[in-house]
A = this chain, B = another copy of it.
């Protein structure tokens, strides 16, 4: 075993928590006790404990000690990329059109711009080998001097389109998932009956000052609209 001591201690404690030997609310041994028990230094023990802290198992209170946390069961991780839907099938993207247009009121409001501000609209159809999967619309405020039509717009996800200025880390993102009851034009593009409801994933991007810099809507029809999320403290 070349397992470092801090790693070993971390595993030991995590195991006790996952097996239920240590329950939410319980207090751990003190740093000094653990250091003695595992014949190591206090700093090594602290490393293990800080890892457990980072992974959401414990908290510490100065002067008191370390305590097992009550886990938050409402938190999930959601992976979304309009061009890479769940990876069940390779997705292809077909550019239907790019336009600089006057946006309607809804879009203006969501992008927090006035109605005479031009907006670049990008329409794409996403499909797999078996046929169309989704219909995708992007709205990006048009700013003079900042060319929007980047290289390979056909194959870029929204964050990569707008993350040019400043840092790609500074972007704030939001998703909203909801139903839109049939949209004749989109349903036709997706080869669906007109009455078919669509699952919409609406993606909003904000820059460092919380100014909207992009809005994307991806419409999934039929059996393709399955959004998945997961949560697992064991890995």
> Which residues between 137 and 188 of chain A lie within 8 Å of chain B, taking CB atoms?
157, 159-160, 163, 165-179, 181
Cα–Cα distance between A14 and B156 once the two chains are bound (Å) = 27
**A7 at the B interface (CB under 8 A):** no
Return A178 CB to nearest CB of chain B, in Å: 5
Tell which of B19, B54, B170, B172 touches A166, judged by Cβ atoms closer than 8 Å: B19
- Provide the residues of chain B in CB contact with A160, threshold 8 Å: 73
Max count, chain B CB within 10 A of own CB: residue among A23, A177, A233: A177
**A28 at the B interface (CB under 8 A):** no
Cα–Cα distance between A234 and B176 once the two chains are bound (Å) = 20
**A77 at the B interface (CB under 8 A):** yes
Tell which of B17, B84, B157 touches A167, judged by Cβ atoms closer than 8 Å: B17
- Interchain CB contact under 8 A, B75 and A79: yes
Give the oligomeric copy count.
2
Given contacts A176-B226, A197-B181, contact A168 B24 (CB under 8 A): yes
Per-residue contact bits, chain A 204-235, to B (CB 8 Å; 1 contact, 0 not): 00001000000000000000011111111110
**A18 at the B interface (CB under 8 A):** yes
- Provide the residues of chain B in CB contact with A226, threshold 8 Å: 176-178
Cα–Cα distance between A227 and B201 once the two chains are bound (Å) = 9
Cα–Cα distance between A13 and B179 once the two chains are bound (Å) = 42
Return A117 CB to nearest CB of chain B, in Å: 25
- Provide the residues of chain B in CB contact with A54, threshold 8 Å: 54
Cα–Cα distance between A171 and B17 once the two chains are bound (Å) = 12
- Interchain CB contact under 8 A, A167 and B18: yes
- Interchain CB contact under 8 A, B76 and A79: yes
Given contacts A71-B169, A75-B79, A78-B78, 14 further A-B contacts (CB under 8 A): A54-B54, A57-B169, A71-B168, A73-B171, A74-B79, A74-B80, A76-B173, A76-B175, A174-B230, A176-B228, A177-B228, A178-B227, A197-B197, A229-B229
Sampled A-B contacts (10; CB under 8 Å):
A18-B166, A19-B166, A19-B167, A74-B79, A76-B173, A76-B175, A171-B233, A173-B231, A174-B230, A178-B227
